[in-house]
Structure 1
């Protein structure tokens, strides 16, 4: 009798443990926080991503670093944005498979800032300067530690516009691609090279890198970094020695800065193969700030980011010299990139 009671007690304990495990596992499936649930409720399941690595255990230090200048919709697609859990229900740090490589002062920060509102996309807030300063082919784990956590079906994007102009960067990025064993996608946004050069000069002044006593003299100086960084044809030709053209998305920074950004954001969505989450009505132009704002989150750039009226202007002779330099280089860029934005160089500056 005692033996039978013991057997029944053991059986009851096993059934209790089984029921507890079953109930606990069901509850954990609903363990997304409210914000995460709202995001997935609105937009549905993002595209599956590759190249994941276990989390390194160090939380990402998010900082807002707004240091760049910004800026025909398709008909809305009938897509199913109903709720669905991500494939593995877990977040961890993952390597970027998309890089915004430049160009500096062409709208890269605006582009990144808007893209971070897409539920399929995550990425560090800061420019990491990994492939222009840190990378050596052996310390990719340091790069990984700087990434935010993501689900396996989200894409991690990193943005550092200096990559486009630093000569060693494409080779270092190629080594990284070999390490991942996956083809990277590279986003390049460019603007009128004269306007970009002027913006770069005032950006340098704002950060204490130059006094900028004379805009014309500084931009036309020998070995001018402003002119060098605006030679899109020269830099793109170097990148194409390492990567195929179809790995690049090229965007018009002039159009992005002046028009509703939905068109450019949809180009990115198509390039990355993700759902169309942005609609034209999501953006409204703020006359006081001079920028487009993202209405669903009430996000808008601070008004001190732009230079609607520069305190100095290039001389007419300087503009003529720069047009001669950049028109020749742009011929190369248009041919290699397969686009032509027909800018009127130096207009309104």
Structure 2
């Protein structure tokens, strides 16, 4: 065989001298062809990699383009809106991208524990405007109903809306604050639980509670006794402190139980009366309490002359703002209460209110 058909590797210092070792001569054309094939294959593999994002490449200005993924990217076919989805419509596309991970159900880190008819429903709707908060759609009565509590924390977690890592999961049941045993049950689940408590002038709250109870049953509301008949014991003419509509207003007594398990620093108290007059101020304080950025801006609250209270300005599907008000049941006109009964209720609540102020280190205009 002609020696021109072989290449001998005898370069000093690189390979040992062994004239018997050789390989066939490879043309430059073939070498270039192989290199081109390898380059094309590597390029195709890079484009198909799940970690390669063309949108994050640098543009001509040298700045990185940053595009948030859509919420629908995390939905399977069975969980898209209109197909039995358990995802809340409140999950917006303005959550920081680093938080759009680990979407799953979690136990709540914060509870709205009451009180009933002090603005808990309004607070829920306002807090849903914050992208870092997800709230269960209805009252779950997990801690105040023994039969629900016995089902366990895994059952409770299964009722929560899915949340991303970094979001705060919340639940509101307005009966938690005034029902016994709820405080130690909450403590048994999470000793670090944060709680939001809304309070309101106690007599007005009791009247509003009565009105809701009366209107709730449409068939018997005309037969419901008056507020005065229910609140006064016929035998002795004294206040019926056992009436369910008045019991939640004994803030001092209920607060004593909660403070046996939780420090006051874990319970944020909202002025329900001020929530009606200035919702932004109270919501801003809740954001601070939860350690969240202040993303619910004043322009989110629009006063409605027709309703007589503040409504919300929400983002519409077409990029514009739309007004959304609370349910029809909000802002009902209260019935006139007998002056004598009002005086008796004032005398009842006056010392309790003072004790409550001292207990929490804060005073209200009651």
TM category, shorter: 0.7 to 0.9
Gaps spanning 5+ residues in structure 1: where? 2-6, 37-57, 65-81, 344-349
RMSD: 3.3
Asked if residue 22 in structure 1 is aligned to residue 49 in structure 2, the reply is yes
Asked if residue 141 in structure 1 is aligned to residue 149 in structure 2, the reply is no
Find the counterpart in structure 2 of residue 79 from structure 1: none
Contact 1:289/1:301, CA 8 A, preserved across alignment: no
Secondary structure of 1:201's match? helix
**Cα distance per residue 1:29-82 (max 9 Å; x no partner):** 96722799xxxxxxxxxxxxxxxxxxxxx9538699xxxxxxxxxxxxxxxxx9
Find the counterpart in structure 1 of residue 206 from structure 2: 197
2:271 to 224, 235, 252: 252
Once residues 316 and 286 of structure 1 are traced to their aligned partners in structure 2, the CA distance between those partners, rounded to angstroms, is 32
Asked if residue 60 in structure 1 is aligned to residue 86 in structure 2, the reply is yes
Secondary structure of 1:164's match? coil
Contact 1:283/1:295, CA 8 A, preserved across alignment: yes
Contact 1:105/1:196, CA 8 A, preserved across alignment: yes
Contact 1:170/1:239, CA 8 A, preserved across alignment: yes
How many residues matched? Answer: 295
Secondary structure of 2:295's match? coil
Once residues 271 and 174 of structure 2 are traced to their aligned partners in structure 1, the CA distance between those partners, rounded to angstroms, is 15
Greater mean alpha carbon deviation, residues 206-215 or residues 103-112: 206-215
Higher RCO by CA contacts (8 Å cutoff, separation 6 or greater): 1
Find the counterpart in structure 2 of residue 291 from structure 1: 309
Contact 1:59/1:148, CA 8 A, preserved across alignment: no
Contact 1:98/1:158, CA 8 A, preserved across alignment: yes
Once residues 27 and 144 of structure 1 are traced to their aligned partners in structure 2, the CA distance between those partners, rounded to angstroms, is 38
Once residues 319 and 139 of structure 1 are traced to their aligned partners in structure 2, the CA distance between those partners, rounded to angstroms, is 44
Pick closer, same or farther for the CA change 1:290–1:89 going to 2, 3 Å: same
Deviation at 1:154? 0.8
Pick closer, same or farther for the CA change 1:140–1:83 going to 2, 3 Å: closer
Asked if residue 113 in structure 1 is aligned to residue 125 in structure 2, the reply is yes
Once residues 248 and 131 of structure 1 are traced to their aligned partners in structure 2, the CA distance between those partners, rounded to angstroms, is 17
Find the counterpart in structure 2 of residue 239 from structure 1: 258
Asked if residue 315 in structure 1 is aligned to residue 338 in structure 2, the reply is yes
More helix per residue? 1
Pick closer, same or farther for the CA change 1:28–1:215 going to 2, 3 Å: farther
Find the counterpart in structure 2 of residue 336 from structure 1: 359
Deviation at 1:131? 0.8
Secondary structure of 2:195's match? strand
Contact 1:215/1:313, CA 8 A, preserved across alignment: no
**Cα distance per residue 1:156-194 (max 9 Å; x no partner):** 11111100011010010000115xxxx111110100100
Gaps spanning 5+ residues in structure 2: where? 1-23, 25-33, 57-66, 74-83, 234-239, 316-322
Once residues 275 and 316 of structure 1 are traced to their aligned partners in structure 2, the CA distance between those partners, rounded to angstroms, is 46
TM value normalised by structure 1:
0.75
Deviation at 1:20? 5.3
Pick closer, same or farther for the CA change 1:88–1:315 going to 2, 3 Å: closer
Once residues 279 and 328 of structure 2 are traced to their aligned partners in structure 1, the CA distance between those partners, rounded to angstroms, is 18
Q: Which of structures 1 and 2 has the bigger CA Rg?
A: 2
Once residues 60 and 286 of structure 1 are traced to their aligned partners in structure 2, the CA distance between those partners, rounded to angstroms, is 32
Find the counterpart in structure 1 of residue 8 from structure 2: none
Contact 1:137/1:176, CA 8 A, preserved across alignment: no
Contact 1:266/1:278, CA 8 A, preserved across alignment: yes
Asked if residue 162 in structure 1 is aligned to residue 175 in structure 2, the reply is yes
Once residues 230 and 59 of structure 1 are traced to their aligned partners in structure 2, the CA distance between those partners, rounded to angstroms, is 38
Once residues 70 and 304 of structure 2 are traced to their aligned partners in structure 1, the CA distance between those partners, rounded to angstroms, is 32
TM value normalised by structure 2:
0.72
Contact 1:187/1:249, CA 8 A, preserved across alignment: yes
Pick closer, same or farther for the CA change 1:286–1:154 going to 2, 3 Å: same
Deviation at 1:24? 6.2
